Structure 1
Amino acid sequence: MAMMRNYIIFLASLLCLTNLFLASSAASASDTFGVHEAFVQCLSRKSLPNEPISGLIYTPNNSSFSTVLQTYIRNLRFNETTTRKPYLIITPTKISHIQSSILCAKQYGLLMKIRSGGHDYEGVSYVADSPFFILDLFNFRWQEIADKLDDDLFIRMIIDVVNDTSTTVTNAKTIRSTFFALFLGDSERLLSVMNKSFPELGLKKSDCTEMNWAESVVYYTSFPAGTPVEALLSRIPQVLTHLKRKSDYLKKPMPIDGIEFIFKKMIELQTPVLTFNPYGGKMAEISPLAKPFPHRAGNIAKIQYATNWPENGVQTAEHYLNLTKQLFAYMTPYVSKNPREHFLNYRDLDIGINHNGKNKIKNYREGRVYGVQYFLQENFKRLVKVKTVVDPDNFFRNEQSIPVFP
């Protein structure tokens, strides 16, 4: 009887605890909903009467929410059913909308992700591990670009693995090197330049296509030949895929045995592709300390590791991510060291992330890991100083943002 009474007491206690937990969970969800509602009301209050923001706010209850969210997702790795979604998307059309979004987010302590073209390779602009909203700037589309280059010739080399048609061996693979060039001049002068500087390529006039600058942008975007320049007005990519990108900098020419080793490993891995973008020219004339971007004189080329795959699934993604990491590891002896330098626009969370917790010392140390690799030591220090003055509360943050001084 005593055992039965104790069991009943235990069961009653368990039910009580369960009810308390459910009540606590419901209260927590209610509090979160209340904060989000207050945030939306704050946006309306702080927007200008002649520039209302209410029609630019999307929640999961809006029929257009998924369309707005997915329109600028450029990496299908971050569009899985398990990927955390924002609780709100704001698509500002006026500067005042951006200002009110920032002010209200700071007031309620909300995490804001800023997205423009969605080009970020690691989804930093539209994915987070904690609740967040997106400030989507796709309506702000203007850009400033240089209208001419100082050096006339740019050649990009892409190395990938293809079927070997020169042998009867089944499934034999070989390495293919493809050269894409942009030259500011006519084909006659280009042939003269190439015959002097790169005769091994054997360039012929039939390999050249003369076009204007806008048409060359279409060409470099991999549209089919003859595509009109109006195709550039479309914001919809030709192909969406899962992808991973990494980067490196080449300081010295790779030795022949090193090239042979990498080719052998690429054939083993098959999928990852290497792209070499040459530096020099104007890049080498600007001091590394003149601008935040430091990778200038002393760099032969920027290297991009690219892996794409069509299949969905976490295990599939892990397989291809591992292939990319292996090729990256094989390249270690041939690229920059102390630090191993990387290109910020080829975002790579493998080199370090910032958890942006309450411990500012820890945040700074985490930020320094990737910050020095992207910006080098001196530039990173200067960026931290600016960040500390302009955004001391670290409101504008993501997994690889500049930290503040502790």
Structure 2
Amino acid sequence: MTKSSPLAYFPIPFLLLIVSLLLHGYPSFADSVYDNFLQCLTKHTKDQVSNIVLSQTNPSYKPALQAYIKNARFNTSSTPKPSIIVTPLHESHVQAAVICSKQVGTQIRIRSGGHDYEGISYVSDVPFIILDMFNLRNITVDIENQTAFVQAGATMGELYYKIWEKSNVHGFPAGVCPTLGAGGHLSGGGYGNMLRKYGLSVDHIIDAQIVDVNGKILDKASMGDDLFWAIRGGGGASFGVMLSYKINLVQVPKIVTVFKVQRSLEENATDVVYQWQQVAPNTDDRLFMRMLLQPGESKVKKGEKTIKASIVALFLGEATELVTILGKEFPQLGLKIENCTQMNWIESVLWWASFDNGTSPNALLSRNPNFVKFGKRKSDYVQTPISKDGLEWIWKKIIEVGDVGLVFNPYGGKMNEISASDTPFPHRKGNLFKVQYSVSWDDDGAEEEKRYIDQTKRLYSYMTPFVSKNPRSAFLNYRDLDIGVNHYGKDSYMEGKVYGYKYFKANFDRLVKVKTAVDPENFFRNEQSIPTLQTKASVFV
């Protein structure tokens, strides 16, 4: 997709600001923002706040910036950097940060865990501030009422750990990566390996706190039904700053079962994948079978490429029952009892996160990934099973493209029981599985980045006949700027509709109405945020 220059959409005063920055130097502008922001923040809080406002010259600035960058594409010398980083220690600091960002006239980006695939929670092409929520990470688990309170800066791993401390028969349906930040993950949908039994994370949010554009803290009662609806799947960053959530926990058995089975094309992978499409979305809703499809070297025909199909599964029950179920429903897989491992739920969380068996749950408290790669992700939805001929054509294309893998995530179960309009997340009944396009690489450089991203776009194009249409749907938490960006000029709504209908379908228009009501001047915005009906975008001068 060819992108227009963002500058073409900004008013003349803003362009004059850009010229000024070029003539007089960005650091002086950053220094000015820092001084004015700190003065404002001091005025609006009773605390000593200089330690939570990091200028570009502060020794803590670079470590703080890099700590939650989870995609190395956005950690280069040419990546735009924030004027300042604000690391609030208290909710009042967030309120003041919103007020002061508006006062100093600079954009704000909100980061909780940094897993945004396109980096828009910590990167912007215009002068900006990062509001980094990592210090606001309190979690309180109430087993008696089967609820938990989770601040936006907490990680999923920390939540799972806190639940495990209190109970071995409770869990929460959310992502399998422990370092996911609660703020973005929960407000964008929250997808994990218990969705066929319990749905998405947003289906279990019963209250929330958000700082609105006026710096006020709102809960479910004070924000109203429309805004509470919007932040459960519509992404919180379009509407304010998410502070916390109250969630319902779910029941898990004392014993769960996991397995990973791999087949290559020489081992009838095509038959396995074809039958998986019939079984995975329709089987017992306690069973989630993710399928990974990756190009690799053939062990049978040396020098030739093959496709490796790996099924990674969680069953909320014992192995003998699982083997019996799949023996009847999925004979092509040939699952045996020795392929399965029984464990408790917290051990399965560690297993899915690729920790070694026997690893202490304490590992879930770590916020530091072992390594951060360069990466690109895209998404699709499949609503009709792909024929064997279709699958064989796809294998050829995957091998031709070179490095991009596919991940099939099955739906069905609870997802079929929830209306598409109950939350902004619309991809419910009618979808067999979600597709993630995935490629990662180690080497820096524009040529390498272009090569891998072009590969991803090519495979995405090849998959067109097999995926959803009108619109070709996408998952918000698999952020993908290829499907449309907004410059917030005179065509703001129409630009937003391009990606908005892919993420939200008919729910997009309700989200726009909510946005217009709660943030009419469109202060909270990014490349793919919800636009207002009549854009009155702030001019940062």
TM-score (normalised: structure 1): 0.89
Conserved? CA contact 2:296–2:305, under 8 Å: yes
- How many residue pairs align between the two structures? 378
By relative contact order (CA 8 Å, sep 6+), the higher-ranking structure is: 2
Q: Unaligned stretches of 5+ in structure 1?
A: 1-20
Partner of 1:338: 470
- Return the match for 2:497 from 354, 365, 368: 368
Partner of 1:159: 293
Q: Unaligned stretches of 5+ in structure 2?
A: 1-18, 140-149, 151-246, 253-283, 535-541
Partner of 2:79: 83
- Return the match for 1:42 from 40, 43, 54: 40
CA distance in structure 2 between the aligned counterparts of 1:235 and 1:32, rounded to whole angstroms: 29
CA distance in structure 2 between the aligned counterparts of 1:139 and 1:60, rounded to whole angstroms: 20
What pairs up with 1:6-405 in 2 under 5 angstroms? Answer: 25-26=23-24, 33-47=31-45, 49=46, 51-141=47-137, 142=139, 143=150, 144=247, 146-148=249-251, 151-167=285-301, 169-170=302-303, 172-356=304-488, 359=489, 361-376=490-505, 378-405=506-533
Partner of 1:8: none
Q: Compare 209-218 and 119-128 and name the one that shifted more.
A: 209-218
Structure 1 residue 347: deviation in Å?
Answer: 0.3
Structure 1 residue 139: deviation in Å?
Answer: 1.7
SS of the residue aligned with 1:261? Answer: helix
Conserved? CA contact 2:38–2:49, under 8 Å: no
CA distance in structure 2 between the aligned counterparts of 1:266 and 1:27, rounded to whole angstroms: 46
What is the identity percentage for the equivalent residue pairs of Structure 1 and Structure 2? 49
Q: Residues 269 and 32 from structure 1, CA distance in 2 versus in 1: closer, same or farther, beyond 3 angstroms?
A: closer
SS of the residue aligned with 1:181? Answer: strand
Structure 1 residue 26: deviation in Å?
Answer: 3.5
Conserved? CA contact 2:31–2:55, under 8 Å: no
Letter in 2 for 1:274: L
Q: Residues 97 and 193 from structure 1, CA distance in 2 versus in 1: closer, same or farther, beyond 3 angstroms?
A: same
Letter in 2 for 1:250: V
Structure 1 residue 227: deviation in Å?
Answer: 2.0
Structure 1 residue 140: deviation in Å?
Answer: 2.4
Structure 1 residue 24: deviation in Å?
Answer: 9.6
CA distance in structure 2 between the aligned counterparts of 1:132 and 1:203, rounded to whole angstroms: 53
CA distance in structure 2 between the aligned counterparts of 1:76 and 1:54, rounded to whole angstroms: 29
SS of the residue aligned with 1:122? Answer: coil
CA distance in structure 2 between the aligned counterparts of 1:176 and 1:153, rounded to whole angstroms: 22
SS of the residue aligned with 2:343? Answer: coil
CA distance in structure 1 between the aligned counterparts of 2:461 and 2:433, rounded to whole angstroms: 18
SS of the residue aligned with 1:201? Answer: coil
CA distance in structure 1 between the aligned counterparts of 2:499 and 2:132, rounded to whole angstroms: 25
Q: Deviations over 1:134-175 (max 9, x none)?
A: 0001122344464247921110000001110112x33x1100
Q: Residues 28 and 348 from structure 1, CA distance in 2 versus in 1: closer, same or farther, beyond 3 angstroms?
A: closer
Q: Compare 22-31 and 251-260 and name the one that shifted more.
A: 22-31
SS of the residue aligned with 2:430? Answer: coil
CA distance in structure 2 between the aligned counterparts of 1:140 and 1:192, rounded to whole angstroms: 46
Q: Residues 28 and 146 from structure 1, CA distance in 2 versus in 1: closer, same or farther, beyond 3 angstroms?
A: closer
